[in-house]
Structure 1
Amino acid sequence: MDAAVQQLFDRQGGVATSGQILAVTSRYEFEAVIKRTAVERIWHGVYCLGEPTDELRLRGLDLSCGTTVAVCLGTAAALHGFDTEQPGDLHVLNPHGHQLRPVDGLVVHRRDGAPLVSAADRWATAPAWTAVEVARGLRRPRALATLDAALRSGTVSRGRLWRAAIEQAGRRGIVAVRDLLPLADPRAESPMESEARLAMIDGGLPLPELQFEVIDGNGELRRLDFAWPDHRVAVEYDGLDWHSDTEAMRADRRRQAALMDVGWVVIPIVFDDVRHRAWDFVARIDQQLRHARAA
């Protein structure tokens, strides 16, 4: 690549407009660079050097608008560290005095009165506002996952979430979010664990302890995803790679046996149980709890 073009991108954090590029090199060299895929077009008249990450796409918008563009919804959630949905689109606020147009990969919003904070050198809707706004647009299980993740990130408190819910009163989905706020728990370690917990609650099970610690029969400290300590019943959520090989299966059986040695019954659940057979795994837990009470 032409040294002047390289310096231009380096100086501007990996982005440049076509006009800036053509000011330091010929159109022939510009087209040659694009053909070699060293430079990619990210917006109309704006290019980036290398893989077009969300950060580079945002810098490209900044360059195009001549100001730092504020983000909201899932893009702000990712910036604050609690995005659970990983949307492909960037969600931004229309800068004052500009008229950004929505295009593929870009959704432009107006959020008059939304509180903004500075995060990673960019303005974004405040964490609590963002969490509530994202949750309003999701199914109940995913909404709870967002609220759990927001609390776990340490960027919000339950009180701030409540205040944000009050500020967004009357907006679509806010009643469901308010109903979920008392259930939100920062101890949930994954979105699917949040979904599983909501299925248990909706199924009438007593609230489990999350990430409960116990010493197993091998003398090792174990953390159980969901536990009812009085009954020594636990549930563990296993991801999609569960039992992906023989050694993993053997290790899991050893762990199960070590917990049985100290009187614990562990019920494993997987993605399909949570999404497609919730009534079945909830019934299994309920049966085991009833059995433990009767013992």
Structure 2
Amino acid sequence: MTQNTPLSLRLPRPPLGPEDVTRRVLSAAQLRARGVSATQTSAQCLPGGPWQHLLPGVYLLHPGPPTGQERLHGALLYAGRPPVSARRAPAGPSETGYGEAMVTGIAALALHGFATAGDLGALHRIDVLVPRTRRLRSTRFVEVLRTASVPGAVRVGEVPVAPVERALADAVAGLTEAAHVRRLMTEAVRDGHCEPASAVRELSEAKLLGRPAVVGAVDALLAEGRAVAEARLYAMVREHGLPEPLWNVELRLPGGPRLGGVDAYWPDHAVAVELDTRAPRYGVPGRRGRAQEDPQWSAYAAKREHLERLGVTVVHLTPRKLREAVDQQATVVRTALMAAGDREPAGCVMALPR
């Protein structure tokens, strides 16, 4: 189309369907690529005009209030950096222009399906994560969060969204109400959005574990994660036809010291299952910090070594494996039970309710 082509022929006019949000909200660069000059854009945005200035360099192509999806798309256009190829040539109508920007915080949790995050359209603020090298200010309803460690974005539809663990940490960083923090963190684990260990690791790396609103919520998250993992273990045993074990027992030698608790124990086979529900806590760095020995893991390893010296096979399962590869984990347990006859008989180990 030529520069003299009327705007009404170059650009779609409302009403448009919900799927046309990328045509209702455009950046200045996208408008220029369609042959709309800065002067023409300004004229369309005059009071009473058909367009409006949504954010710096971002325009809403209808006069009414923006929807939640329009605000979301506008926030990403504002924070996005076009790739090198897009800067060398005009952007096509289908290009998003989001660059490395992604939604995080409460808005991201809403997109991930968190009921406690509320409705996207009702949010007063949209957090957008960008690389630390970006020189960009927060403005209007957009809060720009810079990071030296950009996570891999998850696509929710066509929207780039931070992974649940990162979005949760960024949301918690902006909250002061302990009840709200607890609801978000409990839902994250209860509804299977993420594992407790990965969520707590992200909170630890963000230096949020010491906040008053977070301390009690972390305990609730770990307790919820433990309950979910135990339920998965019970379901695995029953749904895969494994023999019924003794659940949640303390092992000890007759008249001797305690050997430690296990989540399931088959005394006739001398096989125990232990769930690894550890999570990094205060002072234990995650992947961004220097690695240190985990005292919880040292205790796990010492207990397992002691039990195996006594002839007890210990199968170590993680909540993630039970969620993502339950068939495989059932096979591991079944194999351990079948191999019991090939081992030396175990010493006299007692199992007591825990």
TM-score by length of 2: 0.43
The structure whose Rg is larger is 2
